[in-house]
Amino acid sequence: MQGHLRGTRQRQELRGITRDARRLSEDPDEPPEHESIRINARLAPHSFTDIVFGLAVSIGSLILIQSQVATWQDFAWNILLFGFSFLIIVLIWLLFSQTISAIPSEAPSALFLNLALLFCVALEPYLFYLLMNGATQSLLSFTSVGYALDVGVMFAILAVLASFVLKEGQRSRRNPIILHNFKHMMIAESAIASLFFVSAAPVFWIPTQIGHMRFVFWYASFLIFFVSHILSKNRDGKQ
């Protein structure tokens, strides 16, 4: 009886292997069943990631609603701060989604970096709240340093994740255009992270005609991203 069951199990395994081999021969890009299960397991945390990013934006909106407005300058300042926070979260969300869809599952420390990034994203609304309610210049300076470091860490993590994609792509000889885009992305993310880290220095807490110098560094980060995006698109068009 046991020999019969063992033979039946072996035949079933043989049929599964044959079915997978036949599917690969018909469509080499379609993974076998056990590979699909592994890939789906790797992509499953995306829903949790989307929830974290969505909550960060929602909490920022709640902070804006409960903010005190006495003059039109207060109103403009609150809208400017919220718009900046919103763009930062959405930009990191888009970059993260694009990178995580291409990162190899065996990349070292990928899970730890993902969790660290989500922690920084979840921390952003709290730091944004402190920025919105900075009663004194010293408190605003202190909280802006924390915000700069938090955003800098997020972009630094994105740059490291993009480097994982580049290393794996070079080994597997992935499409050069895709690798070039990720290289541009990694350089832009590294530059933005460096900009936020540098802006945290106390020497940059000096007033200018368009706000404190630290905030000017932050605004310049968007310019870096859009210039990198335009250069990448121009190269794609030429090729």
Rounded to an integer, what distance in angstroms lies between the CA atom of residue 129 and that of residue 227? 30
| Cβ atoms 199, 217 nearer than 8 A | yes
pLDDT of residue 15: 55
- 10-residue averages of pLDDT along the chain (239 residues): 48 50 45 41 61 87 79 82 89 90 74 91 90 77 92 95 83 73 88 94 87 87 79 60
Q: What are the residues whose beta carbons fall under 8 Å from the beta carbon of 215, sequence distance 6 or more?
A: 144
> For residue 75, what pLDDT is reported?
83
d(CA 96, CA 224): 17
What residues does each domain of the chain span?
A: 45-238
CA-nearest of 34, 38, 159 to 96 is 159
Rounded to whole angstroms, the Cα distance separating 138 from 205 reads 10
Residue 239 tokens read as 């090729």
pLDDT tens profile 178-214: 787 888 889 999 999 999 999 999 999 888 887 789 8
- Kindly state the helix (H) or strand (E) to which residue 204 belongs, with its residue range: none
pLDDT computed for residue 81 by the predictor: 82
Task: Encode pLDDT of 153-166 as tens digits.
Answer: 999 999 999 988 88
H-helix or E-strand spanning residue 212:
strand 211-212
Q: What is the pTM of this model?
A: 0.75
- Distance CA(151)–CA(85), nearest Å, equals 10
User: What pLDDT is recorded for position 141?
Assistant: 86
Q: In this predicted structure, what is the pLDDT of residue 14?
A: 45
